[in-house]
Structure 1
Amino acid sequence: MSQYQPEAEVVRLIHNRRFMELAAGMEHVSVIKPGEELEARPIDDTLFACPLCPKQKATTWRRIQGHFEGHVNTAFRFEDKVICRCGLPCRDAAHYHCPLCWTTIIRKEQMRFHIKYCRRRTAPPVFVPAHSMPPHQRDHDYSQLPPNHSDRSPQRPGVPSGPETGDRPEATSTSCDSPEELVPAKAFPTQTLKRAKCPHCGLLLYKKNLAAHVQRKHTQKKEKPALKSLCIDRANGIFAVRKVFSHGFSTPVHVQRKAGEPQRTTCELRECRQVRALAQRGGLTPTECEHVRSLRFSCDSAAEEPLREDVLEEMVSLNLCGAAAANDCKERQKAARDAGVPLAVLVNFGGSPRQICVSVHEPKTLYYSVLGRVIVTYKTTHNTWHCPCAKPHKSCPHKNVSRWHLFQTRKHLFNCEAPPSTDRSSSEDLEKSVRYVYEKKRIPPDPPGAAVDAPTQTPDKLLPVETVCPLCSDEPPLTDAFLVTDAAAVVGMGGLSRNVSTYNRRCSRCGVLYRYQEWRDGLHNFNDRVILTLELCSYLRINMQSHVSVSTCVSCLEKLHGKKFPPADTILRAYLHFEALTSSECAYACVTCGPSPPVVVLDRHRTAVRDLEVSELRTPSEDYDGQQNISDFWDSINLDMISRGFFPKSSSNPFVVKPSYENWAPWIGTQTRRSDSVFNTEYKKISEDQTEADLSAAAEDSLFDDLLQQQIWRIRKLCRMCNIDASGSRLDLIKKLQEKMENRQTHDKVQRALWGASGGWSVVLCPHGIVYALKLNLREESPRDFADLLLSWKHFPNICLYEFAHDLATHTNLRTDSAVFRPHGGKLAEATPENLQAAAGGKLQVSLPWLSEKSDLPDDADAHPVTGSSRRYALIHKYHEADPDDPEEVLRSADLVPEIPGSVNGPAAEQLLSDMRKNDDFLNAMAPSAHLFLMRNIIQHRNTESNRKLEARQLKRSRHGVFQLKRRKVK
C-alpha cells in the first residue's frame, strides 16, 4: 500500500473543486467578471487579507487596496474578464487559471498562447442534468460523454506518444448523485511534447528547448565591449576610464598612454600595476589591463572649463567655502596653469545624473594620485562628497576645487530655496510636537520600580492618551486615531516583540501630532517603529558607565535570544532620546566641596570627533562678544536628540545643532556658574596676537611628547602620510617628522592624526574627582579654554592646579582689567634669588591656613566664600611636569604649601581621564552634538556615583553613631 501524502490529497481536492466550478458554470476567485472586483477577506475591524495570497500578511484597508491594484496591473485580460495571478496552493508557484479549462499557467506569455489553443481546439465539457439522464447513465457511466480530442496531440512517427486514455483509472460506482462524484478522480488533460535532436551534439531534447540549448552551448561568446573612456589631458596622455563593466555607477580611474618621450603606459589601479609587474618578473609578455585596452576605442575628449575667481569669491560670500580654502584653490589653479594641465575636468559618461565625477589636478605623486590626478565624486541625492585622500565627511583641497567647478557649471545643485509651503507646514507641526513632548512627557530621574520592570505582556496597540488638544485655548477634540505602522518592534531585555500597531492623533486646528509617549507603562517610544523598555534603557545606562557601547550590548542580546534586533545605531538614538527626556538636574557639584570649591584641578582629554570639520566653521560676526546662553544651548541639544524620533532625515530636521563659534557652550553646574551667560572665545584662536601665540609653545611641546610615546608602526604610518621615507630606526623617523613639522600643513596633519580634528575636552574637577565644568573644544586646546570656564564661575577658585600654570595665569590676567591671579602673578612667592634657591632646595614653605579654616580677616568683596581669601594661585601638582626652561616654575609647586598635598587626590584626575579614554571608541564615531550630549550624561552619572561613595565614607567615619555630613555651604 502506498503511503498517504496529505499534500497530494490537497492538490487533488483543489483540482476536483476546480472541475466542479467549471461544471457548475462558476469562475475561479482569481477571474474577475465585468462589474466585479476582488473582495478583501476581513480579519478584524481594521485588518484585511488578500483572497489570492495566503502568505500575504493582514494589513489595513488602504494598503490592501494598493495590493489589489498590483494584482490588476499584472493580470491577463481575456475578452471582458480579468484573470489575476493566483497565489493559492494550487501549484507551488504563482499562476493563472484558464477560464475555459482546469489548466494553470505560470507565465503570462504562455497564458496568451494557451488561451488561443484552448479556445480553438477545446470545447467546454457538456454535462447533462441528473434529472434528464436515463437510468443507466445515473449509475456513473461516463461513456456517453463526448470525447475531448484536444487532450492529446496528434501522433507523429518516430516520436513516442503519451499514455493512452485507457490507462487511466476508472471511477468506482457509488450511490451518491452529487456532482463531485460525476467527475473522475483524475481527469487532467495530457499532452505529448515533440522531441528533437541537436544538430551539433546529437542530444535528444524537447523541441521547445532546442533554441535555448544551441544559444547556451554552441554559440560563441562575444567579446566584451570596450570600457567607456574620455581624454582628460592630451599633453600627457591621461584618460578617465570606467572601472568595471556594469549597468550601475562605476567610479572612473585614470590611465596614461603617452607615445612621446618618455613613452609610458600605465593604469593607476594598484591591482593592474601588480599584475603587470608580476608578468615582467616572470619573464612573460607584459599584458595590458582592460582599462588600457579600452583606450584603443577612445576618441572623445573632455572640454576644459576655465574656472573664474569671481565665482570663487561669490562662494565665499555665500559661506559655501572658507577664505583659506579659496586661497588654496587659487594657488592650485596657478600651479596647474604653470604645469600646462587642466585643473578640473568634468568626467561624464552619460550615466546617472545622481553621481557627478570631476578629475582634479594634484601636483604631488601620492598613493591616491599616481598619475597626478584625483577623481572626486559628488552624490546629489545625499549631498555628499568623496575623495580618496580624505574621509567621507572631511574636507580636502580636491573637494573644494570640485565644488568650485560645479558651482560655476551647475549652479542649480547649490540652490538653497525654501521648501514648499506644505512641507514647511508639516515641519512646523512636527516642531510643535517635539516641543510638546520635551515639556510635557519628561521622565523622572528615578522612575518607580514598577515602571522599570519589564512589562509582563506587550500590548498589541499603542494609542496616545490625549483626546483633546492641550495646546489650543478651547481644547478641541483630536481626530480619530490613525495607524502609523502595524510592524513596530518592542525591544527589551527579554527579547523582541514584533507586529505591534502604533497610532497617532492630530489636532485639526493647530496640526500638532500626538503619539504614544507614556513611561509609566514601562515603555519608551522612539519613532513609533522602535520602542524600548525602561529596563533596557537602564541596562544601557549602566553599561555606559562600564565603558560598554550600545552596539556591544545589542550584539550580546541578539546572541542570547537568537533574534535579529533593530540596527544598533537606531537603538543608540533611541537611548539618547530617552536620556534627553529624563529630568536630570546635572548639578555637577561635590557633596564635600559644595558648589564653589576653593581648590580645583584643570586637565584635558584629547579625543578625535570624526564628524567635526573645524576648517569649515564660519567666522563669527563682528558684533559677537564671545558669550553664550548656556540654558538655551543645552535645551537645543536636548531638542536635537528628541527630534530624531520625529524627523527621519537630518537634512529636514530644524533642530539639528551643528558646531559653530557662535553656538557652542560648555556645561557648568547651575549653582556654580555666575549666570546663564558664559564665555566661549574660541573664535579668537583663529587670529591670535603675538602674546597668545607664545602661549601655544607648551602645546607644541605636548604634541612632540605624545609623538615620542607612539609605537613604531604608528610612527611609520605618520611618515607615509606625510610623504616621508618610512625606513630607519624609531628615533630617526621621529627626527624626520619633527623637521617636516616645521611646515604648518604637515604639523596640522600630524596633530589631527594624534589628537583628532577637535581640540578635545577641557575638564575642571575638585580634589575629590567630581567634575564641575566640561567643554568640548572646537580648536586645539589652550589656556584660553580654562580661562573661559573659570571666568564664568560665580566664585573664582583660590588654587588652580594646571600643567601649564604660567600660561593660564598670564592669559587670564591679560583678559581682565585687574589681575585675577595675585599676588606675584599667581606664584607662591616673589621671584627673588633667595626664594628661587630656597624653593629649589626644598627649604621654602608657604603656609595658606585659610585652606583649612576660613580666614577671620575683614571681608573682601572679591574673597572666596569658603576660605575668606581673595588670593589666587596657579600652581603645578607633583604629577605635572614643570617647564625646565623657566626657573621661576619652582615657585608654582604645590608641594611648597603644606595644606595641599594631603587634601588633593591626584590620581582621581588621572582615573577620570582614563575612564574617558575608554569611551573614545564609540563616542568619536558620533556626530558632534550627540558626542557632547552623551559625554555630559556619562559624567553626570559618574558624579552621582562618586558623591554616593563620598557620603557613605563620611557616614562610616562619623563617631558614636552620629551621622554627620561635613558640607561646605555658601550663604
Structure 2
Amino acid sequence: MHRTVLRHEKITLQRCQSCCSNYHCPFCGPKVFKPAMEHHVVENHVRNHLSLAVQHEEFLIVKCNLQCREQAHFHCCYCPNTVIRKVQIVQHLASCKKRQVPPTEPATDEPATINEPVVPSAPIVPSAPVDINEPVVPSAPVDVNEPVVPSEPVAFKEPAVTERVPLPVKSLLVPQKSRIQKKVQCGHCGITVNKKNLDVHVKRKHTGKICDVTEDRHLPSQCIDPVSGIYAVEKSFRRPCSVIHVQKKTSGPHSVVACEMDECISKLEFAARSGFQHFECIHLKSLQFCPWPNRIPVVLDEDVLVDMIAANVFGEQTKTTCVATKAAASAAGVPLSVELTIGGPSTKKYISVYEPKVSYYGRLGRVIASYDSTRNTWHCPCAKPRSCLHKNIARWHLFQLHCQLFVSSPIDRPAQGLAQEHACQESTRLEYPPQW
C-alpha cells in the first residue's frame, strides 16, 4: 500500500539525514511543505493531515502531496487508482470493494461443509437410510462456485464509509520528550511569553490602532515655550512611554506646525502633496487639551556650578560650555531647561534642554535628556558617550532643584552636605508652591 494509507501505524517524525537536518512531512514534498527545524511545527502539520483524512473500515487514507500527480489526491486501498476530491474517494472505495471477488476454496469429496452457500429452508428427513459418504443433494441444482445473491442488496452498505468517525489523531503520533520552552520578555509591556508566541502577542496587543483624539482620550502634553509654540507630548498611548517635541505656532507672519516623529513627518508631507493643508497627527491634535503654563521658568544660577565642581560632578571646561549655552538661550529668548511633568515611569525625570543647532535629534531646537533615579543612568538622543552638553545642563538643573539625587546616603554625608541639601530643598519649596 501507499504510505498515505495507514492501518494503525504509528507516525514517527525524525530528522532528515540525507538532504538536511530538519523535519519533513511524510505526506508532502519539500516544495509543498518546507522542512522545519522545530518538531512541534511539523507535528501540528501532520495532525492537520490526519484530521482531514478519510476513514474507511480499518484504513485511514491521508491526502497525498508527494508529487504522484500535479494536484493533491487520495490513494485507494484496494487498487492503484488515485482520486482528487474527498467525495469521489468515498464513492470509489464503496464501488471498488464490491468488485473485489472473495476467494473460493477447491472442491472436496467431503459432504456438505460449512462453506457451502446452500442453506435449506427446512430440515431434510430421509425416508431410507442415508449413506454418510454420499453428499446431500438439494431439491434444486445449485452451482457451488456462484455466490448466493440476497434479496435486498444491503450486504455492502457499510456505515463506516458514509459516516464520519472521530479519528484517533493523537494516538497515531509517537509522543516526543517534553521540551523546555524558551521564555522572552516583551519590549512593549514587559510580560514574559514563549518565544514562538512573541510575534503573535505583539501583533495582537501592540499593533497601532487609529483612534480619534477626544477630551477623555488624548496624549498628555506640556507647554515649554509659549512664544515659539514648543510643546512636549507623550509619544504614544501605551505606558510607559517617552516624550517628544512638537511645534504649533499659528500666530505671526510665519506659522509653523511640525512634529519630531519620522512617521508624522511623512504623513504631514503626504497630506500637503494631496492638498490637505490642515492635517494634524495625534500629537498635534492633543495640544488642544494642553493646560496653560502657570509655572515661572527656572533660571539656573551660575553659583551652583561652583558647588558642582567642588562635588566633582564635572570640571571647569564643562562649566564654560554651560554658561555659553545659557547666554545663547537668553539671547534667543527661550528657556534654557524645563523639567517635564509628563512621561513615565515615575522614577524617570525628563529635562527639555535648549539646542542651538538643528540636527536629526533636535529638529525643533530642543533635546530631551532623561535621568533614571533607580539605575542612576542618563540618556540623551545625541548619543555622545562622554561630554554631552544636554546631560550637563540637565545635571545643572537637577542639582539646583533636586540636589538630594546626587548624594548617596544620609549616613555617609558630612554636615556640610546635609546643610547644602536643606538649602536646596528650601529653594525648591520656594520655586514650586505646594498647589503645583
Q: TM-score range by the shorter chain?
A: 0.3 to 0.5
TM-score by length of 2: 0.43
Q: Please tell me whether Structure 1 or Structure 2 has the larger radius of gyration of its CA atoms.
A: 2
Higher helix share: 1
TM-score by length of 1: 0.20
Higher RCO (Cα < 8 Å, 6 or more apart): 2
